[in-house]
């Protein structure tokens, strides 16, 4: 509701124009200032006009529909005494519909940033493509990798594909949910929220090896009973404390999970703030599931002047964190994992 409050106050509708200049602050930004001048700056005025117009439309809708909102609150209040469940449903549904209607012009504008501007930012990194919506593919393509949790519904967005250091990358944001029970006992649990990354491997292998978060003795035993893979014991106590390894080829698993690779995976877990990381070697690719609560690859606030600078810095920073996976795990090398 913070964005509704900002709309009420009219934040961002009137803001003096200032000259835009991109300052390179990080090594991975080197050369982007020229890229910004060539591919982005000329579109600033157009998008600034669209941003202000989207805010004006949203603010008009906010004030025009306030009487309807007040009526909804009163209706829900009086309905509460006779049918509490229905009153709660009407209130929640009504508020959600009202917020969506008020903010829809802002959502359309921000979606245009992702679909039209993000590809121009990513082109600085090389042959990368960006699609804010995923119409096909997604988690169901990775069933063979055996690290996806059981789920009944999925929501995927922000598909990025490209090549870094000769390594093909496919990544997207995903949220998987599992529904259980019926009627009053129905519940929905989020079983994964984060990014899925498929990376081509320069190391030949034929089997399947998966690395899961250690779930304790009972949890590991239950997982082993639902898989045809065998547990692999490795000579790294720190790695064994964090992860559990399964494979259909014990020799190949040790060929892939060398001491240096295991240490790099531990380092990567630290880089992502100790978040849950699981991976699977299958079909000559590495699939990684990294749990992240926040949404990545999102445009900046619509209440601030649009110059694409914050959008670019955020997107380049997030892509750098992905490239660090390749650097840390040395996936671009043919040998010596």
| Residue 253 is assigned to a structural domain of this protein | yes
DSSP string covering 193-218? EEEEEEEE-SS---S-EEEEE--HHH
Q: What is the pLDDT of residue 335?
A: 46
pLDDT per residue as tens digits for the range 275-297: 788 999 998 899 999 988 888 89
Number of H helices, E strands in the chain: 11, 9
Q: Kindly tell me if the per-residue pLDDT of 197 is higher than 90.
A: yes
1 three-state secondary structure: coil
Which of 104, 125, 146 is where one domain is finished?
125
Q: Kindly tell me if the per-residue pLDDT of 148 is higher than 50.
A: yes
129/224 Cα distance (integer angstroms): 38
| Residue 331 is assigned to a structural domain of this protein | no
Which of 108, 125, 142 is where one domain is finished?
125
Contact yes or no for 303/278 (Cβ under 8 A):
no
* Shared-domain flag, residues 63 and 212: no
Q: By residue range, what is the domain housing residue 74?
A: 1-9+23-125
Percent of the chain at pLDDT > 70 equals 92
| Residue 312 is assigned to a structural domain of this protein | no
pTM attached to this predicted model: 0.83
pLDDT per residue as tens digits for the range 177-196: 999 888 778 889 999 999 99
* Shared-domain flag, residues 64 and 158: no
| Residue 325 is assigned to a structural domain of this protein | no
* Shared-domain flag, residues 259 and 237: yes
Which of 125, 160, 178 is where one domain is finished?
125
| Residue 3 is assigned to a structural domain of this protein | yes
* Shared-domain flag, residues 147 and 120: no
| Residue 98 is assigned to a structural domain of this protein | yes
In this structure, what are the phi and psi dihedrals at residue 181, rounded to the nearest 5 degrees?
75, 175
């Amino acid at each position: 509701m913070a964005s509704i409050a900002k709309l009420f106050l009219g934040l961002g509708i009137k803001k003096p124009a200032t000259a835009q200049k991109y300052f390179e602050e990080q090594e991975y930004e080197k050369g982007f200032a020229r890229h910004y001048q060539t591919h982005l700056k000329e579109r600033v005025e157009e998008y600034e006009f669209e941003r202000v117009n989207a805010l004006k439309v949203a603010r008009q809708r906010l004030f025009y529909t306030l009487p309807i909102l007040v009526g909804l609150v009163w209706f829900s209040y009086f309905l509460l005494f006779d049918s509490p469940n229905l009153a709660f449903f009407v209130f929640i549904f009504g508020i959600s519909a009202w917020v969506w209607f008020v903010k829809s012009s802002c959502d359309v504008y921000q979606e245009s940033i992702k679909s039209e501007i993000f590809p121009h930012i990513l082109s600085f990194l090389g042959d990368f493509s960006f699609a804010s919506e995923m119409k096909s593919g997604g988690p169901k393509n990775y069933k063979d990798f055996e690290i996806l949790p059981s789920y009944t519904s999925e929501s995927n967005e922000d598909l990025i594909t490209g090549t870094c250091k000769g390594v093909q990358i496919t990544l997207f944001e995903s949220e998987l949910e599992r529904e259980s029970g019926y009627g009053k006992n129905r519940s929905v649990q989020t079983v994964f929220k984060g990014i899925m990354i498929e990376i081509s491997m320069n190391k030949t292998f034929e089997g399947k090896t998966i690395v899961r978060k250690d779930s304790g003795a009972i949890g590991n035993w239950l997982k082993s009973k639902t898989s045809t893979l065998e547990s692999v014991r490795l000579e790294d106590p720190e790695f064994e404390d964090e992860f559990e390894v399964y494979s259909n080829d014990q020799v190949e698993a040790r060929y892939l999970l060398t001491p240096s690779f295991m240490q790099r995976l531990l380092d990567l877990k630290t880089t992502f703030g100790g978040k849950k990381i699981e991976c699977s070697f299958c079909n000559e690719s590495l699939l990684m599931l990294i749990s992240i609560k926040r949404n990545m690859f999102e445009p900046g606030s619509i209440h601030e002047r649009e110059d694409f600078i914050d959008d670019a810095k955020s997107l380049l920073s997030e892509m750098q964190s992905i490239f660090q996976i390749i650097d840390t795990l040395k996936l671009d090398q043919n040998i010596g994992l």
